[in-house]
Amino acid sequence: MKQAIVFATKALVTGLLVVVPVYLAVLLLLKGMSSIVGLVRPIAQLMPEWMPAETALSLLIVLLICFLVGLAALTGPGHAARGWFEKTIFEKIPGYALLRGLALQVSGGSRDKVWKPALLEGDEGLMLVFIIEEFADGRYTVFVPSIPTPFAGAVYVVDRKRVHPLDVPFADALKTVSRWGAGAKDLVAVMEKQALKGAA
């Protein structure tokens, strides 16, 4: 009974981490569209009645605004402004930094060592983990994900010699966790290949 409750809780938390950001994004999109409807109504009236012109034009304008904001964020001043907003506002929102880091890792847009896949030598064999941070003395903080809910698990501080960082994409390691370990042999092969390369 206790295991069932723990499993249900982990599944709920994982579902929330996926559903809530998507829901908020859709909600903001719809809110933005409803705010613009009044502006596009005169143009929409010039189009055929069978066409959902107000909705289409509102969506187009919201997407155009998102594109322009994204384009501006890629410039030097825009990048600095985005960094300021993230540090002073967004990072104070619980879970924002975690979700942002995970999103960047999944999309391949981050080269940070945070959430770097690794294999940890445990008492019962190798465990797939993610490196969260590195200590000054070389130890690692690692996150051991639960199967098949990769965003629930346990955190350990371990000696460096027990951790084998893997040169694989974050998304590949995540797939192995969500598929009940299928693909682990490929991760072990990468570890062994890296060990041979290091010894040569």
For the stretch 116-161, pLDDT in tens is 899 999 888 899 999 988 898 989 999 988 877 767 788 999 999 9
pLDDT tops 60 at residue 189: yes
Cis before 148? omega within 30: yes
Length of the chain: 200
pLDDT at 61: 82
pLDDT at 162: 92
- Hey, what are 19's tokens? 């559903």
- Burial code (b: 16+ CB inside 10 Å, e: under 16) for 90-108 equals eeeeeeeeeeebbebbeee
Cα–Cα distance measured from residue 69 to residue 78, given in angstroms and rounded to the nearest whole number = 9
Tell me, yes or no, if the pTM score tops 0.95. Answer: no
pLDDT tops 70 at residue 109: no
Q: Name which residue leads in pLDDT, 13 or 180.
A: 180
Alpha-carbon distances of 83 from 16, 66, 77, 88, 155, rounded to whole Å: 26, 17, 10, 9, 28
Output DSSP code: residue 46.
Answer: T
Q: Name which residue leads in pLDDT, 66 or 9.
A: 66
Report the 10 Å Cβ neighbour count for 126: 16
The per-residue pLDDT for range 40-80, each reduced to its tens digit, is: 777 767 677 777 777 787 878 878 887 877 777 778 787 77
